[in-house]
Amino acid sequence: MLQDDIAALSTPPGEGGVAIIRLSGPGVIDHVSKIFRPYSPGLDLKQRPGYSLTLGHMVDAQGLKIDEVLIGLMRGPKSYTGEDVVEINCHGGVLPARRCLKRVLDGEVRLAEPGEFTKRAFLNGRLDASQAEAVIDIIRAKTEQGLRVALNQLEGRIGQELQLIEDELIGINAAIEASVDFPDEIEEPDYEELKGRITSQIKHIKNLLSSSLRSEIYRDGIKAAIIGKPNVGKSSLLNALVKQEKAIVTELPGTTRDVIEDYINIRGIPVKIMDTAGIRDTDDPVESIGVQRSRQAIKGADLIILLLDVGSGLAKEDLEIFSSIEEQNLIILVNKDDLAERKIEPEDIEKHFSGRTVIWVSVKEGQGLELLESTIEEMVFSGLLESEDYEVAFNLRQKRSLERGLNSLEDALNNLGTLPLDCLAVDIGGALQKLGEISGKSLKEDVINRIFHDFCIGK
């Protein structure tokens, strides 16, 4: 355990029903007992059991009341950080929370760094590195599916899968090293058996990486850009998808001058939907900047939704826009399908957009939007595993370590029978080291610090 005490506000600043100040460290219970006056006379906070609540007042240095608070005690090692933890529940609001935190920090307790409570949980063995990283995924989850995947990580799903692989690799290395160290007593291992065991673990890792792709989409989502010439209904489509008047809609072309974006939930997939300025040549300097930003948004999008207008028909602008993005993932929406007078027919679409995904919609009437959502889901998950047997999602750091571990195992398999056994043991050991980076068993201090860098203070 670490020897200093830390504290931070764990709830968002601002007005609310309750604000929580969290403390962790070996001396926090003693410290809080000096600045807290319980309602029950003679009650000693230091003698209270873990998982107890005590009502009273925070007091200043002169013994004057600061706020009525509820003190929660969690004694280590059965706490979030593995240390003694105190949570001070004061009234929500900027002033009471600020005054209570200031009083807590008057002594030898220091303000916690971002993510330091979770970092201590990792350093004290309460969580492995992958579980600690899952905490930030839970906080940032945008859909139910993304939250479910993050909760699986917090419960140690990654660690459980990796432990199975590590146990098998340790067994393989033990057999190899015993044969190398005691050649007169132990026969060389069966190469076919070794090949089968290594191949099995390679397959296990590849399955983890493949199944992770689906879960990563639920966690990270995609970026989708709505594009088209002016006045085809892009802003109306954005408003319909986010279910609010996010963008201004008028009869005048060129109303949208900048990229307007919001997050929506499509079948559990977080989609950053972007309404772009109508793409056309213009002398208006403001609109020209909007068009330029639209083109930048299009380049960074995972999916393009190209809108056409049944009422105005196919124009040269439509075809020019299509030619500039035809290499990207694309859905073509033929909008205003509710109009009686149509200037776009199915044969026009077949002529210019053959083989493309085309949906006829009326954004105004809400027609075709459910089909659009199901099509997006199908395109996003096309070719990915449907199985949820693993339901893990590796972040970039974890994926790189897993891929390097996979490379070491593939080297071991390729070198089996051609290089000495001790070289094979080096490859297996390299794979174990890389897998250990994911759980934190073989992480360097700078990497540990980087993991918690993006956490909020108080978590």
The CATH number for 406's domain is 1.20.120.430
256 and 343 co-located in one domain: yes
Contacts within 8 Å (CB) and 24+ apart, 143-149: 143/218, 143/221, 143/265, 143/268, 143/269, 143/270, 144/268, 145/218, 145/268, 145/269, 146/218, 146/219, 146/221, 146/268, 146/270, 148/218, 148/391, 149/215, 149/218, 149/219, 149/391, 149/392, 149/393
377 and 400 co-located in one domain: no
203 and 276 co-located in one domain: no
CA 295 to chain centre: 27
Domain contains 72? yes
Question: Which domain-ending residue is among 353, 381, 409?
Answer: 381
The number of distinct structural domains making up the chain is: 3
Q: Tens of pLDDT along 384-404?
A: 544 445 578 888 899 999 999
N-terminal to C-terminal alpha carbon distance within the chain = 18
Domain contains 179? yes
Strand 357-360 vs strand 330-335: parallel, antiparallel, or unpaired?
Answer: parallel
Q: Tens of pLDDT along 324-359?
A: 887 778 999 999 888 878 888 889 899 999 889 999
Residue, of 418 and 48, whose pLDDT is higher:
48
Domain contains 459? no
Asked if 52 and 43 touch (Cβ cutoff 8 Å), the reply is no
Name the percent of the chain lying above pLDDT 90.
41
Asked whether residue 241 carries a pLDDT value surpassing 80, the answer given is yes
pTM for the whole structure: 0.74
Domain contains 213? yes
pLDDT at residue number 11? 92
184 and 235 co-located in one domain: no
Computed over every residue of the chain, the mean pLDDT equals: 86
256 and 153 co-located in one domain: no
Asked whether residue 255 carries a pLDDT value surpassing 70, the answer given is no
Q: What's the Cα-to-Cα distance from 352 to each of 230, 326, 332, 341, rounded to whole Å?
A: 20, 11, 11, 21
86 and 179 co-located in one domain: no
The CATH number for 30's domain is 3.30.1360.120
Asked whether residue 253 carries a pLDDT value surpassing 70, the answer given is no
213 and 287 co-located in one domain: no
Name residue, tokens 């390679």: 202
Asked whether residue 20 carries a pLDDT value surpassing 90, the answer given is yes
187 and 227 co-located in one domain: no
Domain contains 121? no
The CATH number for 339's domain is 3.40.50.300
Residue, of 442 and 70, whose pLDDT is higher:
70
227 and 355 co-located in one domain: yes
318 and 185 co-located in one domain: no
Distance CA 393, CA 209 (A): 8
Residue, of 408 and 390, whose pLDDT is higher:
408
pLDDT at residue number 323? 86
- Which range of residues forms the domain containing residue 28? 6-112
Question: Which domain-ending residue is among 61, 81, 112?
Answer: 112
Q: What's the Cα-to-Cα distance from 414 to each of 197, 208, 356, 410, 411, rounded to whole Å?
A: 13, 21, 43, 6, 5
Domain contains 390? no
State both tokens at 146.
Answer: 């993304």
pLDDT classification of 252: cutoffs 50, 70, 90: very low
Q: What's the Cα-to-Cα distance from 342 to each of 51, 306, 346, rounded to whole Å?
A: 69, 18, 11
Distance CA 224, CA 329 (A): 10
Domain contains 123? no
State both tokens at 95.
Answer: 């002033």
225 and 212 co-located in one domain: no
Asked whether residue 81 carries a pLDDT value surpassing 90, the answer given is yes
Nearest residue to 67 via CA among 45, 39, 96, 29: 96
Q: Tens of pLDDT along 270-308?
A: 998 888 766 655 556 665 666 677 777 788 888 999 999
Question: Which domain-ending residue is among 80, 112, 144?
Answer: 112
Neighbours of 110 (CB within 10 A): 14
Q: Tens of pLDDT along 105-162?
A: 988 899 999 999 999 999 999 999 999 988 988 988 888 888 888 898 898 889 899 9
pLDDT classification of 408: cutoffs 50, 70, 90: very high
Domain contains 249? yes
β-pair partners for 36: 58
363 and 237 co-located in one domain: yes
